[in-house]
Chain A
Amino acid sequence: CQSIVKMTEREERRFAEVPRESIKLMAESSGVELSEEVAALLAEDVCYRLREATQNSSQFMRHAKRRKLSVEDLNRALRWSNTETICGYGAQDALPFRPLKEGELFFVEDREINLVELALATNIPKGCAETMVRVHVSYLDGKGNLEPQGTVPTAVQSLSEDLLKYYQQITRAILGEDPHLMKVALLDLQSNSKIAALLPYFVYVISGVKSVSHDLDQLNRLLHMVKSLVQNPYLYLGSYVRSLVSSVMYCILEPLAASINPLNDHWTLRDYAALLLSHIFWTHGDLVSGLYHQILLSLQKVLSDPVRPLCSHYGAVVGLHALGWKAVERVLYPHLPAYWANLQAVLDDYSVSNAQVKADGHKVYGAILVAVERLLKMKALSLTLAAEGSGAGLPGTTTGAVGFRENSPGLSPPSEPLSEPPLGIASHLQAGGAGCPWEEWTPVSLPAMYCELYSFFGDSLAVRFSTGPPLGGATPPGPCQPLEGRKEPASSAPNLENTRKMPQLTASMNISPRQDGSPRMEPQPPSLAATETRKTCSVEVPPGPGLGTTDIFPKARFPLPQAGPPAFSFIIGGRQMGRRCQGRRFQTSFTPTPPLTTHPPRAYAHKLPVIGRVSKPVRRWTCSHYSLHLPL
């Protein structure tokens, strides 16, 4: 029983005593009546025994090399003196010791615990981190190393000379001209364990993105700096992560000054920034979870603002894509009907003055297509998983690993398991932002979603959807009949994903006339379209500097010549052939293409940057795990 002890401090004895009243009270509580003398004697004895036990327990504390006496110490002392131990107070945290207003009573709060509830509780605490040993050169030749030990960063402190020098060198190297030096500096930034004190300075430098929006090169370098900081395992970003995220968001969304010149490839920058954003959410999910809704909101705002330039819209789409398919489902999908009209208008305008804008529009179109495709695939997968009962969200770790993994930047943040029921996430979002437009969002069934999206994209969606690595290695479940039908070709011809490659497309045009059996075959002669495409390609898109995007770029504008709804129907025709032509023939027509044979199909599994350019940057990111080098 937990005793209520009245402490009396007597000057001459200098230790606590248990008064006889307490003894009597305790005796009464267990139904024993004590006389005054007995109580007095007992009180004295209790006092002595308590003190003895405390003294004995102190040696256990000393040998455990602690300063604080624990309940465990006292229990050990009691055990060794053949006394019953006290159970239930072994917790590491201090027990609140409370005074009672009336009377000088002090007691330990002793709440009742429902053992059944505790035993059956499902929120089992996560295992604590593994005990480990870290070595640290504390003092070199007896001289102090001024940096604090361990990974716990201190607040901004006055910088030591060495740190200041390091800061200057690093920033100079990163923002300087020498790409090799930059690489070295970024690598160090990524692995240096002692730069905690410099973090605020680096974050400040990075926040300078707004002042260099005309210089893609510098923006890129700053983003790389963000990535290095984010990847540094020794840094605790803490609240600085907000600043970093806002810098990244700037690069994604803002109509940068650099994008005025169509020669500047700001698209890559946006893609990279989106990639980075998703990386931050992946690796620092705990820090940024509060930001998730804010970011969704701002992305949505951009998307729903028709005044904004298309490059901003593009950024919003890739940003949503980067935040995961749930974000796409929640924000992009409901907005699509409204947005489509605007985009359509842009794409339908054939005037020369509109050429550049139209090119941008196709970028957006491609980005949406990719995002939507991914949404459908993930949703199908999640349904599969749910149906299989293996609902434990295993984003990116389960079967079908490779392709799935490579898609990781586009996955939803780790806080959202794949299989989480839509309602759960809805409430989650509600909690985040009040009055969000997606509040009234209701889950749309997969077939319905597919049908609606199909109405926008036609068979281009179908083709894209049916290609790529089979997600989760599992075919969609029976209920989604239309899906299953469309997925079929994918499994029979995995190389179909190569249809995204421009050369392949042109090739398919050549084949297309043979696709007579196709039920969905459209009346338009595909060959014409193909030539048209090639023409527009060569005319409209100037070769991007140092980036192998130009030859692929027209792919996004493939439907371009077919104005209005017929344009889409044309696409359907073209793609349809691709889809229905038993793949095999398709494949054979492409094997001679050199780049395809040299690279395994997996290399193209990454879809995000596919819009417009498939080639180098994409492969680098997917294959070499965000290697530092990005062709600038």
Chain B
Amino acid sequence: MAAVQDGPMELDAEKETKPEILSDGTSNLSGNTASGTLSSSPLTAAPAGGAPKMEDQQTLIAVLQFLKRNKLSESVEILRREAGLGEHQEDSQATDGSGGGKGDGDGGDANSLLSRVFITSAAAPQSMLVKKDQPDVSVVLSAYSQQGDPPLYQVYYSGLKNFIESVLDCHRAELSQLFYPLFVHMYLELVYNNHETKAKAFFDKFSGDQECYYQDDLRILCGLTKKEHLKGNEVLLDFRTSRFVLRISRDSYQLLKRHLQERHNNQIWNIIQEHLYIDIFDGMPRSKSQIDSMSGSLAGEARREVNKAKVFYGLLKEPEIEVPLDDEDDEAENEEGKPKKKKTKKDSLGSKSKKQDPNAPQQNRIPLPELKDSDKLDKIMYMKESTKRIRLGPENLPSICFYTFLNAFQGLTAVDFTDDSSLLAGGFADSTVRVWSVTPKKLRKVKSTAELNVIDKESDDVLERIMDEKTASESKILHGHSGPVYGVSFSPDRNYLLSSSEDGTVRLWSLQTFTCLVGYKGHNYPVWDTQFSPFGYYFVSGGHDRVARLWATDHYQPLRIFAGHLADVTCTQFHPNSNYVATGSTDRTVRLWDVLNGNCVRILTGHKGPIHSLAFSPNGKFLASGSTDGRVLLWDIGHGLMIGELKGHTDTIYALKFSRDGEILASGSMDNTVRLWDSMKAFDEVETDDFTATTGHIHLPDNSQELLLGMYHSKSTPVTHLHFTRRNLLLAAGAYNSQ
């Protein structure tokens, strides 16, 4: 395993609760503290972004109280010592916090969930004391108990509806965004206060007004008619604990405010104050299509400021050794009597990679493993291959090879190719991982220790001699998981394979011995995806526990926990420079996380269904995401903007891949098709003037049909994975489905 300098990356169990982690707003709780339970999610789900000092302390106190309640006295002590807080300070701050929370005006970010917790705790301090071991879920829900007059909810809602329908067209679209969150919150309040029949009537009357892309959530909502149901429902818990974010222009907002004040409609005003976050911007109100393209996520749009952080999306400089090594290689070739033919080409490639990208992160921003000799050799191979690469374009589409899994009765759940396309791994629902060699070279195990002692270690072909020829076979089966394998990923050096499974573990397998080396436990819930860093050593995993974790292969505990998604993390992807991790989630957002400090640096909303595939463009500037609604969205990472929407697929998109030079985006779906898109055109046509960059109000051209370069059908075979070989041949994989 490549050694990595023990640096800022290291996060021991002891250090987990250090205040410097907590104070950056994303609450980097990990390991023991989170203890893998979902009940901790209200705490971890605190909003990202800049936070004043006041809130820091509140957060800290909230964490302290949480720890206390869970009887983690040791952690409390450590945290208190580290933060320099006294016991009395904690109590006084609590009351202070509640006071501050109440005074919040129009949607400042100080009014976080946690302060609301303290509002209620201040209002009912006795109940808090009595029910110490109650989960804080009930505390959150109790925020509803203060609300009044349920029978009038229908009147309130229809009053607002009438008002919004009467305003000018330009405002109507913006204010219509209020309908959905208001509707949900009012319904939940009715349910919470045991007005079951009224809740039903309310739902029946107004559910039809909601946008179609909220259907999935409404379906969950409509089944929920009892207060008791609220406790266990995670989706609604998310809705309660996060504030629904709306972006409204100042004019529209003023209009709304005036209306509500005139009518003395406190009920609605209270909900807006407490459960909604209205992100006000100056300028023209947005059109309906602009709003629709950005909305759809579980918690509304992203606040503008969370996407303001600088992202170093440039690529890392290719290591210096590359060029001399190339020369050596050339010399070696010369010695063999071959002419110096590719010298010039390689030089040009080398100089290209030497240029420092202004948007690239520092080379050592995160410690990366040093290149081994074998890695260097592989790089050289890569360079050689890339000189033979086919230049793709709209006129020159790639050939597609389909790897069909036959007789996969047990259910194919995940596929991965190595970068050099020599190995193929499949994860199956019967808990096995199978590895195939797709070249004539068979898979061989290393000999047993007894046999290894016998071989001549000095011989030149020692690497060949250690392999046991008797074990050569076309495929190997890896047994170890106890649940379906949902994610597999090869290490870049092809020595390891990662697999993540329903059993809550990620396993690291050796492709030399074909045995399991490590089982990484931490998720405790199904792990939906795992992905190796493009430089190896690190990997990320994401699962049902709503967090993504960053691991290093030689650490049994995660280095970072990326918490913030409001629902399962369904897919993960490393940025080509390994400094960032993108995660897609069932909450219908894509988030970009900084590996260095664990911050969430981008929240991308716009998908209308769970996201199941992600792909970075090779230059690191763009991100593509595919979801169950059959749409691919393209994102500009630097600006945090949606820059394209590719419609066409009729089912979930499980595979996305950019060609090696980024000209073509391939998408593979359950609908048994592979589609090729002109990504160059999609990126070029984007208007990236300052205005759109600052407001984020992108106007998307509806040009999916122009961008679609080709649609290719497989025969009853859903496309599970796509891969471009180093020469730009497209490989697709999937299991033949006989039904």
Q: Which positions in A face B, CB cutoff 8 Å?
A: 12-13, 15, 44-45, 47-48, 51-52, 55, 59-60, 62-67, 72, 76, 80-81, 92, 128-144, 148-150, 152
Contact = CB atoms under 8 A, between A and B. Distances in A.
B222 A135 contact: no
B403 A59 contact: no
Contacts of A132: 405-407, 475
24 contacts: A44-B226, A45-B228, A45-B229, A52-B223, A62-B610, A62-B612, A62-B652, A63-B526, A63-B528, A64-B429, A65-B652, A80-B525, A80-B526, A129-B407, A132-B406, A133-B405, A133-B424, A134-B406, A135-B403, A135-B404, A139-B710, A141-B399, A142-B399, A142-B709
Interface stretch (B41-49, B533-541, B712-720): B712-720
Of A52, A62, A131, most B-chain CB atoms within 10 Å = A131
Contact of A64 (B409, B413, B610): B413
A66 B610 CA distance: 15
Nearest to A67: B670
B398 A149 contact: no
Contacts of B732: 138
The 3 A-B residue pairs whose C-beta atoms are closest, nearest first, are: A142-B397, A139-B400, A51-B223
Contact of A138 (B400, B408, B628): B400
B438 interface: yes
Given A59-B568, A136-B401, A128 B712 contact: no
B58 interface: no
Contacts of B3: none
Given A13-B222, A62-B610, A131 B628 contact: no
Contacts of A140: 399
A135 B401 contact: yes
Interface string B683-723: 00000000000000000000000000110101101101000
Of B223, B232, B411, B413, most A-chain CB atoms within 10 Å = B223
A142 B715 CA distance: 16
A28 to B, nearest CB: 24
Given A132-B407, A141-B399, A15 B223 contact: yes
B680 to A, nearest CB: 16
B486 interface: yes
Given A52-B232, A132-B405, A138-B712, 8 more contacts: A44-B226, A63-B570, A67-B670, A76-B483, A131-B408, A133-B405, A141-B398, A141-B399
Interface in B636-695: 651-652, 654, 670, 676
Contacts of A64: 411, 413, 429, 484, 486
B335 interface: no
Contacts of B134: none
B661 to A, nearest CB: 16
A53 to B, nearest CB: 11
Interface of B: 204, 219-220, 222-226, 228-229, 232-233, 396-413, 424, 426, 428-429, 434, 436, 438, 475, 483-484, 486, 502, 525-526, 528, 544, 568, 570, 586, 610, 612, 628, 651-652, 654, 670, 676, 709-710, 712, 714-715, 717-718, 720, 732-733, 736
A65 B412 contact: yes
Nearest to A128: B409
Contacts of A81: 232
Given A128-B407, A130-B407, A150 B401 contact: no
Given A15-B222, A65-B670, A80-B526, A139 B712 contact: yes
A286 B610 CA distance: 47
Contacts of A60: 484, 502, 526
Contacts of A135: 401-404, 438
Contacts of B222: 13, 15
Nearest to A130: B407
B403 to A, nearest CB: 5
A13 B475 CA distance: 51
A80 B523 CA distance: 13
A55 B236 CA distance: 13
Nearest to A134: B404
B403 A133 contact: yes
A257 to B, nearest CB: 46
Contact of B225 (A48, A65, A130): A48
Nearest to A141: B399
Contacts of B736: 150
A67 to B, nearest CB: 7
Nearest to A63: B486
A168 B414 CA distance: 44
Contacts of A66: 411
A48 B225 CA distance: 8
A150 B714 CA distance: 10
Contact of A131 (B228, B400, B405, B654): B405
Nearest to B411: A64
Contacts of B438: 133, 135
Given A59-B568, A150-B736, A65 B407 contact: no
B396 A138 contact: no
B542 to A, nearest CB: 11
Given A48-B229, A63-B413, A133-B405, A148 B715 contact: yes
A98 B229 CA distance: 32
A149 B717 contact: yes
B396 to A, nearest CB: 7
A289 B628 CA distance: 48
B586 A150 contact: no
Contact of B401 (A44, A47, A137, A143): A137
B436 A48 contact: no
B401 A138 contact: yes
A141 B396 CA distance: 7
Nearest to A50: B223
B664 to A, nearest CB: 10
A137 B729 CA distance: 10
Contact of A149 (B404, B544, B733): B404
